[in-house]
Structure 1
Amino acid sequence: MEGAGWEQKIQALTHILINPTTKPSLHSQMLISTQIPCYLNWDYPPLLCPESLKDPIFNLRWNLCLFLKRASRFGAPLTSWRSKCPYYQPPPLIFANGVEEAKWDDEGKRLYIRKRLSRKKLVSEVNPLIPVLLPNLLLLSSLFWNPFPEYD
């Protein structure tokens, strides 16, 4: 957005805030592409961008970046900390795995709080002797068994 003026930035930001979506319409894509410059890590297709008309390889690089971004998530939808908050306003577009839609009645809120408070604590269930004994046993085994016989 370095090359865009304040009027263009405000108009684009207002449009994005008023119409939050993961699948923007062609009209929305056209408006955003004319208001601000395109980037390779942008979700909007660069077909409408002025850079794609100047550089013929720009579309190919954008496709590769989009593929690598989705392949790194193994095709799972992009979730963030907002996706894990069911009572956030406005509600997230995509809920994270295991998060149900918020129930706004009093009973639903009570059940949500009880479920949150009854969860197990985030502690490791590994026996505390294992991190101490395992390295010591490996060291002791190297005393009895010579891993480098050529240096005898």
Structure 2
Amino acid sequence: MENTSWEQKVNALTHILTNPTTTAPPLHSQLFIATQIPCYLHWNYPPLLCHHSAASSPPPLMRWALLQFFKRASRLGLPETSWRSKCPYQLPPPLVLADGLKKAEWGGEERKKYVRERLRRKRLGSNVNPLIPIVVPNLLLLSLLFWDPIPFDHT
């Protein structure tokens, strides 16, 4: 990746952004990316033109296949979601919606209803009594007055 030019990186990035997919990329797309950025193992694109350098390590295509397998196995085969999958009203709409979200409805009343539902949701965070973070540390400090953990008599 370090030996690729900025033009190749921009071409590859433009291609990826203009051709989003949730499944494996088509072959012509994989070949285009392989010609632009040949040795990058953490993409969905196989490193077809990457040269095998060390004799002890597995070939790049094998390492890429193992990385893909472990990524999918860790999600138990479920599709990969991102922050976009939680935003149904974004344009263009996300390819995969997050669990619990409905497809965006673009009528005026539907959007007002969606905003009202979002505003009624409980805020993120924990429901801890605000006295607890104040009282507990103060009680711990007060306990040090009655219990001396480090005695000062060294005789």
Give the aligned length. Answer: 133
> What residue in structure 1 maps to residue 135 of structure 2?
none
> What residue in structure 2 maps to residue 57 of structure 1?
59
Asked whether the equivalents of residues 4 and 37 of structure 2 are also in contact (C-alpha less than 8 Å), the reply is yes
| One-letter amino acid of the structure 2 residue matched with residue 14 of structure 1 | T
> What residue in structure 1 maps to residue 30 of structure 2?
29
**What percent identity do the matched residue pairs reach?**
59
> What residue in structure 2 maps to residue 84 of structure 1?
86
Q: Tell me the C-alpha RMSD between the 2 structures.
A: 2.9
Alignment of structure 1 residues 34-49 onto 2, 5 Å: 34-46=35-47, 48-49=48-49
> What residue in structure 2 maps to residue 5 of structure 1?
5
- Cα distance between partner residues in 2 of 1:119 and 1:49: 50
Asked whether the equivalents of residues 43 and 66 of structure 1 are also in contact (C-alpha less than 8 Å), the reply is yes
Gaps spanning 5+ residues in structure 1: where?
129-152
Which has a greater percent of helix? 1
TM, length-normalised to structure 1: 0.71
- What secondary structure sits across from 1:51 in the alignment? coil
Question: For each residue in 1:78-104, what CA deviation from the matched residue of structure 2 results, as whole angstroms up to 9, or x when unmatched?
Answer: 111111011112211111111122111
Gaps spanning 5+ residues in structure 2: where?
131-155
Asked whether the equivalents of residues 42 and 67 of structure 2 are also in contact (C-alpha less than 8 Å), the reply is yes
| One-letter amino acid of the structure 2 residue matched with residue 6 of structure 1 | W
